[in-house]
Structure formats: C-alpha cells, structure tokens
Structure 1
Amino acid sequence: MSIKDKKIGFIGLGTMGAPMARNIKKAGFSLGVYNRTESRAEAFRDEGAAVYYAPWELAEDCDIIIIMVTGPEALLEITGAIQEVLKTGKTVINMSTVSIDATMQAAEIVQSRGAEFVDAPVSGSKKPAEEGALVILAGADSRLLDELQPLFESMGRDIVCCGEVGYGTRMKLVINMLLGNMMASFAEALVFGRRTGLAFETILQTITAGALGSPLFKIKGQAISEGNYTKNFPVDLIFKDLNLVLHEAGKVGTPLPLASATREAYSGTVGLGLGNEDMAALVKYYEKIADIKIVDGGK
C-alpha cells in the first residue's frame, strides 16, 4: 500500500499541531484528528478531516498516528490510551519535544504491540509550521524513514536522519538548548546596550547586519521593537525544554553552566506571569532586573 493510500491520524492540535495537520491534508492525505479540547478538532471537519472524540478511536481507524503534545506526561498518557488498538502494520510518530526516557518508554509501548515507532520532533515555530518549512529530526530505521518521506515533506523542508529511535529527541534537546541560550544572550545584549546609552535601533541594526546576524535575532528583534509578544514559541515551553536538557545533562555527567543560567532567567520570566507569551518576552525579565525599558526611550 502506498503511503498516500494510508489514513493519517493527528493527535494534538495546538499552536504547532494545527498547521502541521492542515499541511498534511493539503498534501492530499486522508486525515483524522483528535484534540482534548474538542472545538479545536471540530474546526477541521469543514476542511474534510474526520474528527474523533477519543485517541484510541483515532488509532484504531488510522494507519499512521502522529502525536504532537506538550510534554513527556502527555505523550505517555496518549500512548497508553491507544496501546490496546495498536498492531502490526500501524506506525506511531512522536513529533513532540519530550525527554529521552519518555521517548524510549513510548517506543516500548508501541513496539510491544507489533507496531512501529518513529521519533521525529521538529525544529521551528508557528510560522514555519504554517509554511510547511519545519526541520524534522527523525530517529528510526532508514527503511521506515524512506517510506514516510512524502508525509514528512508535507510538513517540513528538511528531514534530518539523526539515527535510531531516541536520537531525534537528543538532537531536539541540543537545538532547543542553543535556542534558549541565544535568546538570553540577545536579551542581555539589548539591555546592556541600552543602559550604556545606545539607541535600540542602532543595537538591532548592528547585530543583524554583521556576522552575528541570524533569523532568530531579526524576528525577535522586530517583535520586541513592536511590543508584540504573541506566542510563536511560548516561554512555558522553552522553560520546559531547558529543564529536560538539564535533566539529561545530569544523567550523562555534562555540566551546562550557561544553560543553567538561561533556565533561571526563563524561570524568572514565568514568575512574572509571562509563561504564555512568546519566548521574546524574556527581555521583559531582563528589563525588570536592570530597571530599564529598552524601547520607547529607555531610562
């Protein structure tokens, strides 16, 4: 059976999951969806997707089940809920950012039923998800990844084969550690520069024009200049991911002093009640502890 003839089930229709599921449907796949908040799933009915009201119902009816949830506990809850209907011929793909332990536990649950498991978290935020331009960090048998390539291409512009199951998660934690550290360094640079008297626009132009320029700094710098903290990748989730990183680092005996300091900065941002804002809101934490406003004249 061609992958185009298989029914795809998508569990988790949040900020990332909803546009990913829509791109699967746009690519011509048969799609079924489930979300704990039913209204998010119902929105897909008019787009031609089947709507399910329990994860096990979706898993029973679909050949390939994609899971895109917020963390390890949710992943294991879902895999436990669908376990009894899994069988040989079905494939479960976890695209959530979770711990290595949770990935391997989920894989064991799925594989114990004769189904196949793919570890495929993504790098990218809301806009790349909407554009089908995510980077997919896949961990699985190369044969299986080859079969799934048309499905992955509906959601992403690059598919990176990281190794066996568990190695996609390892790569995602590396990427998100770097992302968190970069955002923290950027926020510190903006606050320090403003405190010395530099104009915000001068700092931003210089950073983005030179060798240090990156899409992250350009996008987040523009958002900060506009005071737009609508979530693309919320503070709560990068804080969660940094906790996962430091947990894994402790297990393998690797000190991460910079990531540890970054985690504390995000913890402070959560403490300010900004967990549901975009990660760029980290700059508000630095503004508070430095007693300065970096936009609109500073102090």
Structure 2
Amino acid sequence: MGVEGADRIAEVAGELGLLLVDCPVLGTRQPAEQGQLVMLASGPADQRERLAPLLDAMGRRTVWAGEAGAGSRLKMACNAWLVSISVGTAQSVALARGLGVDPQLFLDALDGGPMDTPYARLKAGNMLSGEHPVSFGLTGATKDARLIRSALQQAGVPDLFDAAAVTVMERAIDRLPDPGAVDLSALIEGFAPDGD
C-alpha cells in the first residue's frame, strides 16, 4: 500500500468518521500460520487495550507506532531493511563465487558473530542451493522496493541504495522463466554475469 495509500485511507476514514487502525505485519506465511507475526499497529491510543486480544491472537507481539498511518510508515522502514539485507547477501554470495571462493565460507565467516542474522542465513541457503520456495515472493518484494523508493523520495532521503536494489531485482525478474513463482532469494539471478 505504501505511505501515500495509507495517508489516503486515513483521510477517507476521517471524512467518514470511521475508526481506523492501520496494522501491517512483519512475517510471512509460516509465522502467520504459527501466530508469530509482529503486528505494526497504529491508531487511536484509547483503543489499544480493546484491540490487544485480537492483535495478540494473530501475532507474538505488537509494536504501536502512533496515529493511523504510522504502522505503514514503520513497515516501509522494516521492508527497506529486508531489501537491503537480501540484496547485500545476494551480492556477497555472487562476489564470493566470482572471486573463486566457496560462498559457504562467507556464511561460515559470519556464523555466530555480530554480523550473522538468521534472515540472511535463510536467504543465502536458498541462493546456494538454487532452490527458491516462496516465503516472500520476488515480484511482491520488488513492488515493495518500488514503494520504499517512493517513501524515501517523499521523506527527502536519497534513494541511492534502493534504486540499485530495484535494478538488481528487475534484472532477476527479466532472467527468470516464472518470476512470480519464486522467493525473494532468487534475486541472486540479478547478479549473474551477462551471458549466463
């Protein structure tokens, strides 16, 4: 939906006198099925207690971000991190391969240290195996990266990294036979040498 969409919905809800709680989530299908989502709620502070049982049933915790629309803004920041770590991981795996180093050694070097993250390890595992079962689809992630780019521009923050990330993701989409059927980890194809 992005920042502009959230703002428009909040505006219409206000015009109609409706209570609006904006609550995007962090997590994919598996955390949703297990009730382990992180709820990024925003809306009237006086409704938090009333909504807590509902949000607690769907997620493992709720982060209240402020007035309606702030949850979507927080989601943009979280998705920017997700895109950054995914693209950075793919680039590191591709660079290791290109330099003749076993990419598994990249993961081994990070293991247990301050730069190690379960998310990067998961996506890198897919990249190394060449298997990309959909958890967060590449085409959906690319759409989100475009929304992040718009949010960065709206916030006056240079979008240099996100612009490059979108380029890599679009390059992967162009190289894949069915980009709608693969996980974000397939963005590794965006780093494949020309001619591959």
TM-score of the aligned structures, taking structure 2 as reference length: 0.90
- Tell me if the contact between 1:208 and 1:217 (Cα under 8 Å) persists in the aligned partners: no
**Structure 1 CA distance for aligned equivalents of residues 155 and 53 of structure 2:** 36
Superposition deviation, residue 290 in structure 1:
8.6
2:120 corresponds to: 217
Superposition deviation, residue 123 in structure 1:
1.1
Superposition deviation, residue 208 in structure 1:
3.3
How many residues are matched?
194
Instruction: Let me know the Cα RMSD of the aligned residues.
Output: 1.8
Superposition deviation, residue 164 in structure 1:
0.6
1:177 corresponds to: 80
- Tell me if the contact between 2:149 and 2:159 (Cα under 8 Å) persists in the aligned partners: yes
1:123 and 2:29 matched: no
Percent sequence identity is 26
Superposition deviation, residue 268 in structure 1:
1.2
1:59 corresponds to: none
More helix by share: 2
1:250 corresponds to: 153
**3-state SS of paired residue (2:111):** helix
**3-state SS of paired residue (1:157):** strand
1:235 corresponds to: 138
1:267 corresponds to: 170
Letter in 2 for 1:232: S
1:276 corresponds to: 181
- Tell me if the contact between 2:171 and 2:189 (Cα under 8 Å) persists in the aligned partners: no
- Tell me if the contact between 1:269 and 1:275 (Cα under 8 Å) persists in the aligned partners: no
Structure with larger Rg: 1
**Structure 2 CA distance for aligned equivalents of residues 149 and 212 of structure 1:** 34
**Structure 2 CA distance for aligned equivalents of residues 180 and 195 of structure 1:** 22
Letter in 2 for 1:194: R
1:33 corresponds to: none
**Structure 1 CA distance for aligned equivalents of residues 56 and 194 of structure 2:** 44
**Structure 1 CA distance for aligned equivalents of residues 59 and 95 of structure 2:** 37
2:103 corresponds to: 200
Gaps of at least 5 residues in structure 1 are 1-97, 292-299
- Tell me if the contact between 2:93 and 2:124 (Cα under 8 Å) persists in the aligned partners: no
Question: Could you report, residue by residue, the CA deviation over 1:212-266 in whole angstroms, capped at 9, with x for unpaired residues?
Answer: 1101112112223333211110111111111111112222322121111111111
- Tell me if the contact between 1:123 and 1:137 (Cα under 8 Å) persists in the aligned partners: yes
Say if 1:148 and 1:289 are closer, same or farther in 2 by CA, change over 3 A: farther
**3-state SS of paired residue (2:191):** helix
TM-score of the aligned structures, taking structure 1 as reference length: 0.61
Superposition deviation, residue 151 in structure 1:
0.9
**3-state SS of paired residue (1:254):** coil
1:186 corresponds to: 89
Gaps of at least 5 residues in structure 2 are none
- 1:68-107 alignment, distance < 5 Å: 98-107=1-10
Higher RCO (C-alpha under 8 Å, 6+ residues apart): 2
1:285 corresponds to: 190
Match of residue 145, structure 1, among 12, 32, 48: 48
**Structure 2 CA distance for aligned equivalents of residues 132 and 290 of structure 1:** 44
More strand by share: 1
Say if 1:252 and 1:203 are closer, same or farther in 2 by CA, change over 3 A: closer
Superposition deviation, residue 106 in structure 1:
1.7
Superposition deviation, residue 207 in structure 1:
2.4
**Structure 2 CA distance for aligned equivalents of residues 283 and 179 of structure 1:** 15
Superposition deviation, residue 285 in structure 1:
1.9
**3-state SS of paired residue (2:156):** coil
Say if 1:104 and 1:288 are closer, same or farther in 2 by CA, change over 3 A: same
- Tell me if the contact between 1:137 and 1:162 (Cα under 8 Å) persists in the aligned partners: yes
